[in-house]
Chain A
């Protein structure tokens, strides 16, 4: 076997059945090997950035390793945003790029870039293969590393000659990630039982650790009031009565109030991101903390914790669950208080009962949430629509909500949805996007058509960069700068050019029929939803301010409402 064939052999041994890529000069030996390989499905996206983002969506939706492939030079540089996205959100990903031949490295050869050097800050680890005999071991190590501990992207840059060289070294046996064991819980348990107002604060680490079931068991057994980060949405399931929703910049008043008032934060798989905490000094000012994470570097990173529990989340949560079942927490008064806040300060958006009224983002998302099946996967882009989904869509599982949390990558949603559809062929997969984000990877409509994916696309079109416009309005004296997109293309016609049927709606009474139509259609379909340019996401915390300074939606007068309708 040559180097290229060894790569495919490693895919087979690790049950990698789907990869996303784009061919080119230096990676051609791998594409040549693919011709004879029927066990690996290669998905040809139309831009390398989309390959990486599709691999990300595949990994998030399935819990498996996402794989993307590109050639040297521009192929590799185009991958970078997608790989950075995976790095920031700790997504297990294997990145393979061709490189110019070993002897040409450093000569400014055609399509040569220093991929290893330029990607150091966005990978969990990376390799430049300089000996073909090391390739089998590197493949094995890379695939294990990407998925173990705190997952992340691992990049292998392979010179073309290495791909063509016959490799005598056999593939090594599977390597195992080191077990960290279960830490001593006694101090944390004592603190939890002592607390009068304990609050569960969970993030994306729960699903990254495949600890969804044990988290839910703990949440139920403890009946702790809980808040979630953007990536933790769905952790507690859609029916948990103690879930106060997302905290932070666009979090619910109930969630932020509970954080402010709690005397103990029980943090599970969250990294105290600034969008969640707001100004750190004012975050949970009265609380001691128990921080559970697999990554030692996250503990004490931004706030000193009282008790740190590093290890496998699944094991630790299971141990806590046993304790909670044996002796429940006596916090009825606190639960009742949180319930009150949930009722009065949860995410609320009245459904507009005026049938001819313009569509508002929250009302549309609430309808979408009611109509779609529980196992639907929603891949968002970045902007106002992303926050409306986070606030108003009720997710039953964190893997049903694909969102670019750490990097905030506009253009994420469409390729991520493609990846999710390949991972879940029978599931309803919906890309909810904005007009700005959609145009960043619109070329992937061709990928949807090529593979006849039954994806549903929803463009919430306000003809501007809504989140930027909103912050300019609120924090920059309403001085609008470069946010106007009123020269958008005709999205309905654009979809049709890719042979994807589409539908336009603009009135409240069209929402249900629009959603039901695209869901019922046997194949890909686009729903273009015209929404008001002036709609904002509420509540909001000014960047850098404390969460307790959150700003609610100003009361609208009846006249203003009527003007909007007109």
Chain B
């Protein structure tokens, strides 16, 4: 499956908190990719035993689907999605 066209796909900001473990970031990115999203920006910070990960994603599939898939990961504690205002405006247009 090809990631979606970056010029037309809506973008989202996704915050994820997950346990530090081997391959944690790879695991997260693998799910993001296979579920049809492209990572435009990524910031990772270590907080105690966890990673706080901030992602800017682009993709035309429903972001709620990605959220529910990420929440299934055993080491993911929390996923929050914010849809930027410009994307919301584009959707409602």
Contact = CB atoms under 8 A, between A and B. Distances in A.
A470 B62 CA distance: 36
Nearest to A157: B22
Contacts of A296: 68, 71-72
A120 B26 contact: yes
B1 to A, nearest CB: 12
A297 B65 contact: yes
B65 A125 contact: no
A240 B34 CA distance: 40
Contacts of A295: 72
Interface residues of B, number: 17
B89 interface: no
B30 A120 contact: yes
Contacts, number: 35
Nearest to A130: B22
B83 interface: no
B22 A116 contact: yes
Interface in B29-87: 30, 34, 62, 64-65, 68-69, 71-75
Contacts of A116: 22-23
A301 interface: yes
Nearest to A125: B74
A308 to B, nearest CB: 11
A301 B65 contact: yes
A181 interface: no
A121 B64 CA distance: 20
Contact of A300 (B27, B34, B65, B73): B65
A128 B20 CA distance: 12
Nearest to B27: A120
B69 to A, nearest CB: 5
B30 A145 contact: no
A160 interface: no
Interface string A285-318: 0000000000111001100000000000000000
A469 interface: no
Interface in A125-170: 125-128, 130, 145
Given A116-B22, A125-B74, A297 B69 contact: yes
Nearest to A124: B74
B68 A297 contact: yes
A128 B27 CA distance: 13
A124 B62 CA distance: 22
Given A297-B65, A300-B65, A117 B72 contact: no
Contacts of B71: 296-297
Contacts of A121: 30, 34
Nearest to A129: B22
Interface in A84-140: 116-117, 120-121, 124-128, 130
A120 B65 contact: no
Contacts of A124: 74
A300 B69 CA distance: 12
Q: Which of A124, A125, A130 has the most CB of B within 10 A?
A: A125
A128 B23 contact: yes
Nearest to A120: B30
Contact of A297 (B26, B34, B72, B74): B72
A120 B30 CA distance: 7
A126 B74 CA distance: 9
A126 to B, nearest CB: 8
A117 B74 contact: no
A120 B23 contact: yes
A121 B69 CA distance: 12
Contacts of B22: 116, 127-128, 130
B28 to A, nearest CB: 10
Nearest to A145: B74
A145 B30 CA distance: 20
A8 B34 CA distance: 36
A120 B69 CA distance: 14
A56 B87 CA distance: 45
A370 B23 CA distance: 52
A121 B26 CA distance: 10
Contacts of A300: 62, 64-65
Contact of B26 (A117, A145, A301): A117
B13 to A, nearest CB: 21
Nearest to A295: B72
Q: Which of A117, A127, A145, A297 has the most CB of B within 10 A?
A: A297
A142 B79 CA distance: 23
Contacts of A125: 73-75
A271 to B, nearest CB: 13
A128 B69 CA distance: 22
5 contacts: A124-B74, A127-B21, A128-B22, A296-B72, A300-B62
Given A120-B27, A121-B34, A128-B23, 19 more contacts: A116-B22, A117-B23, A117-B26, A120-B23, A120-B26, A120-B30, A125-B75, A127-B21, A127-B22, A128-B22, A130-B22, A145-B74, A295-B72, A296-B68, A297-B65, A297-B68, A297-B71, A297-B72, A300-B65
- Enumerate the 5 nearest inter-chain pairs by beta-carbon distance, A residue then B residue, closest first: A297-B68, A125-B74, A128-B22, A120-B30, A116-B23
